[in-house]
Structure 1
Amino acid sequence: MFASADTNREAVVWDRASREVKLKNMLYHTARINSLAWSPDSRLVATGSLDTCAIVYEIDKPVASRVTIKGAHLGGVHGLTFLDNDILVTAGEDACIRVWKVVQQ
């Protein structure tokens, strides 16, 4: 699998083998997506945006299966990475790095 994100606020997950879209219509940000990261087990994909939010999607479940970290930073989220399968680190326009425990619903 691989994922893409664009300035139109959409993220898409693709199946690399079949070249088909696995998950689309991930249009939950209100501004441009700046960053994207996979969890080490490839079960989660996270996006960071100028809207100050980070969103974590569980890709084997419906699009509604997501965790939104609202106001993750005082400005846009410009970088993110997973430390392990449930710890997300974000870097923001506010010059802060924050660590989040991702709890799936």
Structure 2
Amino acid sequence: MTDSAPTVVGLYSFMRGAPLQRVAEFRWDPKGGVSLTVFDVEQGYPFQEWFEAGIPSEADDRVVMPSEGERFMRALIWPTRQMGYHRIWNESEPST
């Protein structure tokens, strides 16, 4: 893989008339693997489901599991991923 994989990916929920709310995040490092923190159980369900069952990856044409680290984090931010009331952002620190 050529580009750096994301190390922090946040999930945000937005509802009409409510402020944007951070509801979950994935973190990855090559030594410790992928971890999930859910801040709002009700709104963070997409990340919880992907952590347990994997995420469909268009690039790999299959489901990618968190144990696959770099591939999993890339699948999270795939450009065509659409979600109704949620937004996903790569919050990784820029490479130096």
TM-score relative to the length of structure 1: 0.29
TM-score relative to the length of structure 2: 0.31
The structure where helix makes up a greater share of residues is 2
The structure where strand makes up a greater share of residues is 1
Larger RCO (CA within 8 A; separation ≥ 6)? 2
